[in-house]
Chain A
Amino acid sequence: MQRLTIEDLKNINEKRKAKFALREGGYRAKVTVHMGTCGITVGAKDVMDALVDEVSKNNIKDIIVASAGCAGLCGKEPIVTIEQLGQETIKYCDMNAEKMRRIVVEHLIEGKPVEDYALPPPKEMTFYNLQNLRVLRNIWFMDPEKLEEYIARDGYLAAAKALTEMTPEEIIKVVKDSGVRGRGGAGFPTGMKWEFCSKVKSNVKYMLCNGDEGDPGAFMDRAVMEADPHAVIEGIIIGAKAIDSHNGYIYVRAEYPLAVKRLQLAIAQCYEAGLLGKNILNSGFDFDLKIYLGAGAFVCGEETALMRSIEGKRGMPRPRPPFPAHKGLWEKPSVLNNVETLAQIPLIILNGADWYRGVGTEKSPGTKVFCLAGDINNVGLIEVPMGIPLKTIVYDIGGGMKRRKKFKAVQMGGPSGGCIPESLLDTPVTYEDIVQTGAIMGSGGMVFMDEDSCMVGVANFFMNFTQAESCGKCVPCRIGLQCMVEILEKIIRGEGELEDITKLEKLAQTVKSTSLCALGGTAPNPVLTTIKYFRDEYESHIRDKWCKVGVCRDLVTFYIDGRLCNGCGACRRACPAEAITGEKKKPHKINQELCVHCRTCYDACKFKSIKVLPAAARKANDAELLELAGVATSAGVASEEEEK
């Protein structure tokens, strides 16, 4: 592509919009295969090949075959969307090559949608119709590897406006007025960050993008970088103009190969088209952008650590002040923004601050992208207006828990966040309200846990994570987290004492208040929130040596209640230790000496006949076991009654 001028941008935009609009005599349908990392993993490429093959075999000329990013409903990938003139848009899920061929023949040629594979129309699906797409505006619709497609969706018009019609002060004012807050988790107002940096005088400044998405369970930034890399780049260019920077980096995890590839391609396209480099769009503004690959350190998501990592050092945070706006990368004034924050900047420039404030709340305007993961039905990527109650996300968008289990908690904010219990599901999703619960908004990971999750185990999992990822610089984090892990493991082994809970709380407060960076400052949150909301679980682990959901191996005995077992054999076949015996259609039995307490049988049983008893029951005789099983109010039974 030759160097573009602003006129060219407008031309390409109009021409492509006209060419690819579905109309009589032109294209009559558009078939989109959604090819994000998760789609490709479960076979989207085969689907695409089958589609291309079938279309050419049947010599169909009047449809558009396209690929785009993740369709949001990751658990039902591969997904194919068919938009057709005069018809409702249809999404097909769980696709494979064979289904694709059938759809080409029946839907595209014969005109009969294949209802067997179709999702309900998007308008009727609460998963889709409660969402508001801003950051994700392009990713369902656009081939990320084509610059023209981004331009056709009004791409780079905001950059053109910012570079030629607006002063840095005007850009900062719009962004400040919009109230957009950093989507990386802390929620610092983006406009203010830019303003601080713009006021510092320096020949060299850096505009940086944080794509080091490290929270387990979060993949929003990956999806945006993979599916809409140009939106991120455009946001960076606008930010660069605002702070008067001419050099920038996108820091991406090396574990995201597809995102890296697409960003590299997008940057190369921009250089070719004159959207990066010298004299961008003939505006006289120069900006160079590079990619820097992170090497796998969670703490590098912290801004000062990230900058050290780009400098080629160990990624350890340093005290602030001086803030990066004054002394950042290579001691020069720098701004670091999250991928999601930057991707919405073009919209704010084009549509204005008032438009941006049209959704969300006063203090948390706009929308937020979340990743739903864990024991929830609609695992996926969503974007909702701020202020929406958590309940709506769990039940209406998320579709409730898998296997009709009961909701127990949602972990927000990854390892730095906390567990929010059912009683607080009315909490609106805003920065201020989430903090009240003890969790944090975080970058947008939401991991849902059902009634069969052990909260002590979950806390231990997160503490292990942050303990391993602590950079080791300050004592409270390095040693404090280690001590907390040791106490939790002691409880899980069945050697806990009641005062351990108080010890944990005390340690947690110390680590929180004395650590240098946000990693240590937030790491104890999972322990604090689980103690706050699920203290009884800690107590039963310690006092009764009983993990009531059967997760902590040393604190359980699995027992088959003969009164409920119909001898289907599912548990016997599933057991990895071959500890279950029994004849067909007769109650089965677990040999306690062989049992490894892995809970596989409990999950395999569809009749809820497997009871979780305290560890002490391993030595009990049959009569005692039966009695114990009677009082064991296993969560499974409760939910069965509810179903009835």
Chain B
Amino acid sequence: MNDQEKELEDAILTQFNRDKANVIPILQKVQGKWGYLSKESIYQISRFLGITENVVFGVATFYAQFRFTPPADHSIRVCLGTACYVRGTERVLDKLKEKLKIDVGETTEDRKFSIDVIRCLGCCAIAPVMMIDEEIYGALTPKKAISVLNKYAPVSIAESPAEEVEITGKER
């Protein structure tokens, strides 16, 4: 048993019994700890619960929450809820994709950023909204979104100095 396997066993699996109904809570804990579900961890979970890896993968891929590749340093999640859509979130998303040269679901080469879309963060009042890691930024425009990125990784993004714009966003 290697270190990660041991950690998974000690920190997570010991909290659960071997009831296969626990598969989703276990997957959530594993992803919470490592940021994604590796092939190895899925194998380990399947052995623990006495079900096949297929079943675990089947459940995991059904739910939008789970990912199977390591996340970037900063995960950008752009809200594509109705309110954000109506208030122009698509333009924000397009600009981010263009600047970072990646598509939704992908990670930049330097693993600094990844872009995902999310269906409604429930902050419709300050739409359009995106969430970088745990922070929410509201009332975005394409320009403002880019200047928010500068806060996280100035070198790879900035082609012109960051613009002074008011940024809405506080710790959640």
A: residues with CB less than 8 A from B are: 37-38, 40-43, 45-46, 74-75, 77, 213-219, 222, 254-258, 292-298, 309-316, 371, 373-375, 379-380, 411, 414-415, 445, 447-449, 453, 458, 461-462, 465, 469, 471, 576, 598-600, 603
Contacts and interface: CB of A to CB of B under 8 A. Distances in A.
A526 B91 CA distance: 22
Interface of B: 19-25, 27-28, 58-59, 62-66, 80-88, 91, 94-95, 118-127, 136, 138, 141-143, 168-172
Contacts of B23: 312
A445 B83 CA distance: 10
Given A216-B80, A297-B64, A310-B21, 13 more contacts: A42-B168, A214-B120, A215-B120, A216-B83, A217-B83, A219-B122, A255-B122, A257-B172, A312-B22, A315-B62, A465-B80, A600-B91, A600-B142
A43 B169 CA distance: 8
Given A41-B136, A312-B21, A219 B124 contact: yes
A213 B124 CA distance: 14
A214 B20 contact: no
A255 to B, nearest CB: 7
B124 A576 contact: no
Candidate in A216, A296, A309 with the most chain B CB atoms within 10 angstroms: A216
A42 B127 CA distance: 12
Contact of A315 (B19, B25, B63): B63
A310 B64 CA distance: 16
B82 A42 contact: no
Contact of A216 (B27, B82, B138): B82
Contacts of A213: 122
Contact of A295 (B28, B85, B95, B119): B28
A42 B119 contact: no
B28 A293 contact: yes
Contacts of B83: 216-217, 373-374, 379, 447
A213 to B, nearest CB: 8
B63 A296 contact: yes
B129 to A, nearest CB: 8
A618 B115 CA distance: 33
Contact of B119 (A37, A294, A465, A598): A465
Contacts of B62: 297, 314-316, 471
Given A217-B124, A295-B63, A314-B59, A447 B86 contact: yes
B120 A576 contact: no
Contact of B125 (A373, A447, A603): A373
A419 B136 CA distance: 29
Contacts of A600: 91, 141-142
Most chain-A Cβ atoms within 10 A of its Cβ — which of B27, B118, B120, B121?
A: B120
Nearest to B120: A216
A465 B22 CA distance: 29
Contacts of A218: 120
Contacts of B123: 37-38, 41
B124 A373 contact: yes
Given A75-B125, A314-B62, A576-B142, A374 B86 contact: yes
A296 B64 contact: yes
Nearest to A45: B170
Given A46-B170, A295-B65, A315-B63, A371 B20 contact: no
Contacts of B94: 598
A573 B25 CA distance: 49
Contacts of A311: 21
A461 B85 contact: yes
Determine which residue in A316, A448, A598 has the highest number of CB atoms from chain B within 10 A of its CB, and name it: A598
Among B28, B143, B170, residue most surrounded by chain A Cβ atoms (within 10 Å): B170
Contacts of B119: 214, 216, 298, 465, 469
Given A217-B120, A576-B95, A447 B82 contact: yes
Contacts of B63: 294-297, 315
Contact of A312 (B20, B87, B122): B20
Contacts of B22: 312
Contacts of B88: 603
A195 to B, nearest CB: 29
